[in-house]
Chain A
Amino acid sequence: MSANLIEVRDLAKTFDVSAPWLNRVVERKPRQFVHAVDGVSFGIGRGRTLALVGESGCGKSTVARLLVGLYAPTRGEVHFEGQRIDTIKPGAELRAVRRCMQMIFQDPYASLNPRWKVLDIVAEPLREHGLVAGAEAQRARVGELLRSVGLAEADAEKFPHQFSGGQRQRISIARALATQPEFLVCDEPTSALDVSVQAQVLNIMKDLQKSRGLTYLFISHNLAVVRHVSDQVGVMYLGRLVELADKAELFARPRHPYTRMLLDAIPDIHMSGRSRTPVQGEVPNPLNPPSGCAFHPRCPHANDRCSRERPALAEWKGIRVACHAVEEGRL
């Protein structure tokens, strides 16, 4: 497993959502916790793309934030280039690691400071990490970065409001590339964009991956986009990975009933008028998740064991699935 650039083992994050202390005492309420991410393990090989998919509240964005260190994990380990990084204390060593991993956020309207020029936005990581000294050298480097994402050097003098959504997302990509990272975490980078603009951004991301050998963790709820960009796909449900497989395998032969359901739910533009079986039920409240397999109340193949015993992620021919029905051969 040393071939993996990033390796995550049994990662978990619990948020305390209890009422304030006085309310708990007076109203005799217990403490409450949300297990946003609960024991997730995966690895991403150098130059490859892992996509995490799932519906809102499944914990995919929390995983992204745990990897880049925006949250501290409750349990588990994160390894980068063979080195454990979640325990590094703030300081020069952590800065060096953080330089190698950058993040692209969902909303290009909120992630760029409206009062800064593009020059300052893209040069901020250069200054922060002391990578390029001197205003002239920084300006030249920013121009180079802007060109690499298909913008003009002169755009450095403009403000974010002078750009469209797709152009803003390119500025975020240029900023993320400033420190020459090896690993990019992209949290729904195109879901705020229109389709024709989404295509531009996805193409740029693929080109950059080829030319710079970047490794991506790509978070999305859009399976068609995931199918286009990823090498491997992990499906998450209520804080846990339920299936992890190569893209071709997952889309051709989905194993887990939840994966099948998600694939079935995608509207297909090329099969006009096809009727599909609508999915039953909704995602349960994460404060009070079902016992056993979290998916069993919505699962057409659930039996007694599924409601009692939580299935482990079992590996089998390179595909990892957490499902009793698959394991027992019922499915």
Chain B
Amino acid sequence: MAAPAPLLEVKNLRVEFPTRRGTLLALDDISFSIAPGEILGVVGESGAGKSLTGAAIIGLLEPPGRIAAGEIRLEGQRIDDLPYEQMRVIRGRKIGAIFQDPLTSLNPLYTIGQQLVETIQTHLPVSASEARERAIKLLQETGIQAAEQRIDQYPHQFSGGMRQRVVIALALAAEPKLIVADEPTTALDVSIQAQIISLLKRLTKVHGAAVMLVTHDMGVIAETCDRVAVMYAGRIAEIGPVHDVIHSPSHPYTVGLMGSIPAMDEDRDRLAQIEGAMPRLTAIPRGCAFNPRCPQVMDRCRSERPDLMDAGPTRAACWLVASKVRT
């Protein structure tokens, strides 16, 4: 796990939302790292905290949400406590971001070219004409035909898939070391989704950027990522190499999650289902957050919270792993 000098290191991250009725704990003791050039997938159901983890890293937590404990380090430098202006410089230059909806992440009043040139000139010391040249090259790289003409068009003149290509070009504009991609393909059709995923994979390899890919789609994770973190109720349930998490998961939640996905290569009359639903933030159970839904729950799970521990090739937060009663 501990590759030499990780690019991004998140340690014991805790995010809270103070509300009138008390403080909600949205992320609780999240620790992971991303090596240079690595693609880490973060998967989980809605409300698990996966997008929030991404937002905390790029410093865009919506108030009143705040980082209550822990630290985030990029190339060894702490970035979670930086003042807003300094974080602005890092965001874009060192960390690029891609969001779910390509329509809302582009400004409808400016041409694609104006937005790209502004981003490039904000972060790199180049002239306007150099920036424009670079913008055209980026658009060509993302597979946009006739980039010289299309650069002067507005976002509404692009289709959904093309817009997402522009957003990828924007994220790569200043050659960041890390890209946080939050559900980049969820709003797209399957055939376009495949194009965007392979583009993202190819371009980050060419530019040597690491990616944190947040998605709820296990298929996208399997095709794209090196490692994957499975999140549940604001905590990491299991983390490890993609192949091991998919084929020999240790945490009962990961097992259930994998079983509930309809597969293309086998026929089952019924899908495995996890009873119940993820707890709300206001009512996270004591001990292991998954214990009311867990088919193998033990007494200890109801009182004591498990930390991530070694479970073969992966690391899982589960007392079953500790007691070696592996499934």
| A237-293 at interface with B (beta carbon < 8 Å) | 251, 261-262, 264-276, 278-279, 282-283
Which among B58-66, B101-109, B118-126, B267-275 touches the partner chain? B267-275
Q: With the chains together, A215 CA to B114 CA distance in Å?
A: 54
Q: Is B298 interfacial (CB-CB < 8 Å)?
A: no
Q: How far is the CA of A56 from the CA of B191 in the complex (A)?
A: 11
B261 A55 Cβ-Cβ under 8 A: no
Contact of A268 among B46, B193, B223, B273 (CB under 8 A): B223
Residues of A with C-beta under 8 A to B45: 194-197
Asked if A302 CB lies within 8 Å of chain B CBs, one says no
B277 & A266 in contact (Cβ 8 Å cutoff) = no
Establish whether residues B270 and A203, one from each chain, have CB atoms under 8 Å apart when the complex forms: yes
Q: From A283, which residue of chain B is reached at the shortest CB distance?
A: B189
Nearest neighbor of A164 in chain B, beta-carbon distance: B277
Find out whether the CB atom of B191 lies under 8 angstroms from the CB atom of A261: yes
Q: With a CB–CB cut-off of 8 A, which chain A residues contact B189?
A: 55-56, 221, 283
Cβ distance A201 to chain B, nearest Cβ, rounded Å = 9
Q: Given the complex, which residues of B lie within 8 Å of A195, measured CB to CB?
A: 45, 216, 218, 257, 260-261
Q: Taking the nearest CB of chain A, how far is it from the CB of B169, in angstroms? A: 17
Bound Cα distance A55, B159 (Å): 14
Q: A269–B261 contact, CB under 8 A?
A: yes
B192 at the interface (CB under 8 A from A): yes
- Give Cα A270 to B162, complex, Å: 29
From A196, A224, A275, A282, name the one whose CB has the most chain B CB atoms within 10 angstroms: A196
Chain B residue contacts of A164, Cβ below 8 A: 277
Q: How many whole Å from A259's CB to the nearest CB in chain B?
A: 12
What is the interface size of chain A, counting residues whose CB is below 8 A from a CB of the partner? 42
User: Contact check: which of B191, B221, B278 meets A279 at CB < 8 Å?
Assistant: B191
Contact B222 A269 (CB under 8 A): yes
Measured in the bound complex, the distance between the Cα atoms of B45 and A197 in whole Å is 9
Chain A residues whose C-beta falls within 8 Å of the C-beta of B271 in the assembled complex: 199, 202-203, 228
Separation in Å of the B77 CB from the closest CB of chain A?
33
B264 contacts the other chain (CB 8 A)? yes
Contact in complex: B191, A269 (CB < 8 Å): no
Q: Does B73 contact A (CB under 8 A)?
A: no
- The answer, yes or no, to whether A65 is at the interface (CB within 8 Å) is no
Q: Decide if A198 is an interface residue (CB 8 Å cutoff).
A: yes
Asked if B220 is an interface residue, CB under 8 A from chain A, the answer is: yes
Say yes or no: A266 contacts B190, CB within 8 Å.
yes
Question: Provided the pairs A195-B45, A265-B191 are in contact, do residues A278 and B198 lie with their beta carbons within 8 angstroms?
Answer: yes
Contacts of A203 in B (CB 8 A): 270-271, 273
CB pair B222 A268 closer than 8 Å: yes
Q: CA of A325 to CA of B222 in the docked complex: distance in angstroms?
A: 34
Chain A residues positioned under 8 Å from B190 (CB to CB): 55, 221, 223, 262, 265-266
B256 at the interface (CB under 8 A from A): yes
Please, how many angstroms separate the alpha-carbon atoms of A281 and B86 in the complex? Answer: 41
Residue of B nearest to A197 (CB): B277
Q: Which residues of chain A from 120 to 166 have a CB within 8 Å of any chain B CB?
A: 164-166
Contact A267 B269 (CB under 8 A): no
Partner of A272, one of B242, B274, B275: B242
Q: By the criterion CB–CB under 8 Å, are B274 and A196 in contact?
A: yes
B11 touches A (CB below 8 Å): no
B257 near A228: Cβ-Cβ < 8 Å: no
Partner among B195, B246, B270 whose Cβ is within 8 Å of the Cβ of A206: B270
Query: Separation in Å of the B243 CB from the closest CB of chain A?
Result: 5
Q: What B residues does A221 contact at CB under 8 A?
A: 189-190
| A310 on interface, CB distance cutoff 8 Å | no
User: Is the CB–CB distance between A228 and B242 below 8 Å?
Assistant: no
Closest 3 CB pairs of A and B: A267-B219, A199-B260, A194-B45
**Chain A residues proximal to chain B, CB less than 8 Å:** 55-56, 164-167, 194-200, 202-203, 206, 221, 223-225, 227-228, 251, 261-262, 264-276, 278-279, 282-283
Q: State the B residues within 8 Å of A (CB).
A: 45-46, 159, 161-162, 189-195, 197-198, 216-223, 242-243, 246-247, 256-265, 268-275, 277-278
